[in-house]
C-alpha cells in the first residue's frame, strides 16, 4: 500500500531523522520527510502538542524519530506507527536510550503518549526498544492488566514517580493490584484504573509529576538573575491585560533588589 501523506513537523516542531548513515543517533539529526496516514498524523500532532504544554520547558527545537511508514508488515506498514528517538529543548535533551539515567522524564513522556495511543512499547519491553518509544494504533487507549507493556509502565511509574516499591516484571499480580490502589489514593483519584477516565487522570498526574521534577532540576542550575528574568517574562506573557501588572512587576523588582536578597545571591 502506497502512503502519500507525509509530515516534516509535529506540533510546530521539526521532526528529524537521526540514524546512521544519515546522522548519528542521539544528535539533532537531519531534515526528513516522514510518510504516514493522515488521521494518524493528526493524533501525533495532538499528542506532541499536549506533551509540550505539560512539559512546559523553554524553546522546543527538534523531535527525532527512527521512522513512521516502513514497507513491511505491522502498523508501520499501514502508516499507523511512529518511533520516537528523542526531543531537544533549549535546556533539556531527552534521548530514549538514556532511560536508566533519565527515567522520571522518560515516564512523563510515555504517560502523555499513552493518553493518545493504545500501544506504547518502551525501554523495559525488550532490547529492541531500548533506543526508541514505539507507538501505534494496535490497542485501545486504557489499562488492560493482560497488556505486558502497560503493566510494565504502571509498575515502573508506581516505583519511580510515586515512591511505591513495585517489581517491574510486566506481570499483573496482587502486589501490582494493591500498589495501583495505593497510587490512585495518593493522587486523590477515585475509581478503578480500568475505567477510561481514571486511566487518563492517572496518566495526567504522572506526567505532571515527572515534568515538575525536571523543571525543578533545571531551575536549580540557573542563576538567580536568570530565574528573575524568567519570572518577569512569565508575568509579561500571562498578565498582559491584568490591571495590576505594573504593580506585580514592581513588587518583584523591589524584592529582587532588596539588600538582604542581593547579598544572598552573592553568597550562593
pLDDT tens-digit series, residues 58-115: 899 999 999 999 988 899 999 999 999 999 999 999 999 999 999 999 999 999 999 9
User: What b/e sequence results for 255-268 when a residue is b if at least 16 CB atoms lie within 10 Å of its CB, and e otherwise?
Assistant: ebeeeeeeeeeeee
CA-based nearest residue to 63, from 108, 104, 8:
8
Is the pLDDT at 214 greater than 70? The verdict is: yes
Using a pLDDT cut of 70, give the percent of the chain over it: 89
SS3 158: helix
Confidence (pLDDT) at 228 = 66
* Residues 6+ away with beta carbon under 8 Å from 126: none
pLDDT tens digit string along 151-169?
Answer: 999 999 999 999 999 999 9
- Asked if 214 and 57 count as a contact pair (C-beta separation under 8 A), the reply is yes
> What are the residue ranges spanned by the domains of the chain?
6-220, 227-267
Q: What is the pTM of this model?
A: 0.82
The pLDDT value recorded for residue 245 is: 76
What's the CA gap between 255 and 127, in Å, rounded? 52
Q: Which residue has the higher pLDDT, 39 or 239?
A: 39
> Which class for 55: exposed (0-12), middle (13-18), buried (19 or more C-beta within 10 A)?
buried
Amino acid at each position: 500500500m502506497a502512503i502519500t501523506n507525509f509530515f516534516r513537523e509535529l506540533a510546530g516542531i521539526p521532526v528529524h531523522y537521526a540514524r546512521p548513515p544519515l546522522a548519528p543517533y542521539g544528535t539533532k539529526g537531519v531534515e526528513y520527510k516522514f510518510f504516514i496516514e493522515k488521521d494518524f498524523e493528526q493524533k501525533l500532532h495532538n499528542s506532541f502538542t499536549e506533551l509540550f504544554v505539560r512539559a512546559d520547558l523553554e524553546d522546543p527545537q527538534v523531535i527525532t524519530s527512527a521512522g513512521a511508514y516502513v514497507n513491511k508488515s505491522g502498523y508501520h506498514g499501514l502508516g499507523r506507527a511512529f518511533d520516537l528517538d528523542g526531543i531537544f529543548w533549549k535546556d533539556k535533551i531527552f534521548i530514549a536510550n538514556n532511560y536508566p539515567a533519565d527515567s522520571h522524564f522518560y515516564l512523563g513522556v510515555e504517560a502523555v503518549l499513552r493518553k493518545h495511543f493504545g500501544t506504547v512499547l518502551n525501554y523495559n519491553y525488550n532490547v529492541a526498544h531500548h533506543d526508541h518509544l514505539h507507538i501505534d494504533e494496535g490497542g485501545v487507549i486504557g489499562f488492560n492488566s493482560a497488556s505486558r507493556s502497560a503493566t510494565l509502565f504502571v509498575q515502573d511509574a508506581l516505583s519511580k514517580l510515586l515512591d511505591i516499591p513495585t517489581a517491574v516484571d510486566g506481570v499483573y499480580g496482587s502486589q501490582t493490584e494493591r500498589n495501583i490502589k495505593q497510587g490512585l489514593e495518593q493522587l486523590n483519584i477515585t475509581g478503578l484504573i480500568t475505567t477510561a477516565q481514571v486511566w487518563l487522570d492517572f496518566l495526567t498526574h504522572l506526567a505532571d509529576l515527572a515534568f515538575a521534577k525536571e523543571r525543578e532540576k533545571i531551575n536549580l542550575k540557573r542563576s538567580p538573575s536568570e530565574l528573575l528574568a524568567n519570572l518577569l517574562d512569565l508575568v509579561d506573557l500571562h498578565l498582559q491585560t491584568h490591571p495590576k501588572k505594573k504593580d506585580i512587576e514592581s513588587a518583584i523588582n523591589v524584592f529582587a533588589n532588596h539588600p538582604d536578597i542581593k547579598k544572598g545571591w552573592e553568597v550562593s
